[in-house]
Structure 1
Amino acid sequence: MKKILYVIAACFMLQTGAFAQTNFEELALDKALEKAKTEKKLVFVDMYTSWCMPCKYMANMIFPKVEMGEYLNPRFVCLKINAEEGEGVDIAKRYEIAAFPTFLILNTGGEVQHRIVGGSETAADFIKRVAEGLDEDTAIGVLAKKYGAGDRESMFLAKYAKALLAVDDQKVFEVADLLLENLSDAQRVDTAYWFVYEHPALTPVGSPNMEYLLANAVRFQKSVGEERVNEKIATAFDVKLTNMITGRDKQSGVEAIDAIEKEMEGYKFPSKPRLKMFAEIARAQRSGDIEKLLTTCEKNLPRIEHEHLLAAFFPLALTIKGKGDAGQQERMLALAKKLLAETTNDKFKFALGNFIPYALEKK
């Protein structure tokens, strides 16, 4: 009798798990749209590829969760579509899918109500992102229709720009520029529009937005707080110097480093000592002198918090490995091993532990 009860309980648990997880149906998109119309639902589409690791993470770790199924199943007809197979190829073209995973929320007419680009580490975060697609203040498709119909009210443009930033849509530059054009000088420093100046892509070092921010820093500090403004400026300098070190920015010369160092002096922020070291490293790198670069790295890299070396260290090491002589290469290897022995940052330890044997020890 106990065995029978155990089997029944086990079957019940399996059934519950099967129904609790996200119910992806094997339907063509047109059939899913028809079913959604009948059931008064929307269509949720997971656009993936076989080689996409974040796609696999979502499939294996997020969508099987009970809370995910409980949220999605009552609201959507859910589909998984491989963007490189069958009708997925045409669907990816139709909806201009450029990154994976991309998740679409479609109305029953097949129009995009919302899109989500990239996965989430937790079910709770992903549910929050899906919920934004059901809110007309954040659903990208709803906002796009209003914009297309000519809505240019400032608060609406702010909502649309924020939604575009959330899905990494390049149209945000157009909308943000139009928003700032609509604002008076007094409005531009209002907290409601600070997100434009705070975002690194919309306000990079050297841009008109950054020039305005620097020229009006005191006004912004009164509006949104000194710490937030200084941290934004510090982050912008950080990105600029890191891009120079990593090679993403190959155009800027020593004069750009000089300008950053001069500008930094007027602000207080905790990362200033590190940014000064980054500036020294970038200047040595721009000199083309490998010995100077290596000496600068030996002096500064052990003093920089290791989470900030994740981007900068590896291109520096490869430059010295590729252009240095045998003695300089050995010193770079010794520096890498020193950092590996000392680091407590798991990401840097993992990356450096794999980098050393394949890039620095390999002849």
Structure 2
Amino acid sequence: MRKSGSIILLGGMLLLLGSFSLDPTPVPVTSPTPAPETDIHWLTWEQATEKMKTEKRKFIVDIYTDWCGWCKRMDAATFQQPYIAKYVNEHYYAIKFNAEQKQEIQYKGKNFKFVNNGQRGYHELVAEITNGRFGYPTVVFLDENMNVIQAINGYKGPDDFEMIMTYFAQDYHKKVPWDKYQRSYQPLPHDE
């Protein structure tokens, strides 16, 4: 008796579930709302220099290596912040540059290549735009003519990086000393 009651109950549940799938009422199809842009549009050196031909902007060059733990942390903690990504995408061409990449790069009419040096080596372009100061991560800010504004060595959290990127994007570095800018800085709105 108990077995047949269980079978009847199970059969009833299956019929009930099946009736939901046979509902002839059409389900309205809606387009998904696009997610807010939360990623930086990272470009290669070549892509960024090509874009410069149609629209001049400053550059942020994130110099990293595959083995650099602080580089990975900056990617996750700083560059993944939606307000950082939005600001970078609006004001800069962002370049991800592996300091140990083998590809030859052209910059200001010269070719720069990888140089073997001990176990790892380095790319000559990194030496050029950091003035020979190697350390990872390093973020280099370039102006609209690809001249170095400043190379910033070491990990920077979101708050510090926000202040730095706005300082260069808005050309405050040309008129306001850094310490004065820091004291009067108003953070960007964080829509979280």
In structure 2, distance between residues paired with 1:73 and 1:66? 10
1:71–1:137 CA distance, 2 compared to 1 (3 A): closer
1:113–1:2 CA distance, 2 compared to 1 (3 A): farther
CA offset at residue 3 of structure 1? 8.3
On the 8 A contact 1:100/1:117 being kept in 2, the answer is: yes
Letter in 2 for 1:70: K
Letter in 2 for 1:58: M
Instruction: State the TM-score, normalized to the length of structure 2.
Output: 0.58
1:93–1:40 CA distance, 2 compared to 1 (3 A): same
Q: Larger helix proportion, structure 1 or 2?
A: 1
> Secondary structure at 2:135's aligned position in 1?
coil
Where in structure 2 are the equivalents of 1:129-208 lying within 5 Å?
129-134=164-169, 136=171, 138=173, 159=177
User: Could you say which structure has the greater relative contact order, defined with CA pairs below 8 angstroms and 6 or more residues apart?
Assistant: 2
Instruction: State the TM-score, normalized to the length of structure 1.
Output: 0.33
Corresponding position: 1:107 with 2:107:
no
Structure 1, unpaired ranges of 5+: 144-155, 167-363
CA offset at residue 125 of structure 1? 2.6
1:3–1:46 CA distance, 2 compared to 1 (3 A): farther
> Which residue pairs with 1:62 in the alignment?
78
In structure 2, distance between residues paired with 1:124 and 1:4? 41
> Which residue pairs with 1:20 in the alignment?
38
On the 8 A contact 1:36/1:42 being kept in 2, the answer is: no
Letter in 2 for 1:108: E
> Secondary structure at 1:133's aligned position in 2?
helix
Q: Deviations over 1:281-325 (max 9, x none)?
A: xxxxxxxxxxxxxxxxxxxxxxxxxxxxxxxxxxxxxxxxxxxxx
Corresponding position: 1:39 with 2:78:
no
Where in structure 2 are the equivalents of 1:256-275 lying within 5 Å?
none
In structure 2, distance between residues paired with 1:128 and 1:24? 20
On the 8 A contact 1:34/1:108 being kept in 2, the answer is: no
> Secondary structure at 1:39's aligned position in 2?
coil
On the 8 A contact 1:33/1:109 being kept in 2, the answer is: no
> Which residue pairs with 1:50 in the alignment?
66
CA offset at residue 56 of structure 1? 0.2
> Secondary structure at 1:115's aligned position in 2?
strand
Corresponding position: 1:94 with 2:128:
yes
* Root-mean-square deviation (Å): 3.1
> In structure 2, which of residues 97, 100, 119 is the aligned counterpart of residue 84 of structure 1?
100
Q: Deviations over 1:67-101 (max 9, x none)?
A: 01111001111110100112471211212241111
Structure 2, unpaired ranges of 5+: 1-25, 104-113, 115-122, 183-192
> Secondary structure at 1:110's aligned position in 2?
coil
1:132–1:115 CA distance, 2 compared to 1 (3 A): farther
Report how many residues are paired: 136
On the 8 A contact 1:102/1:117 being kept in 2, the answer is: yes
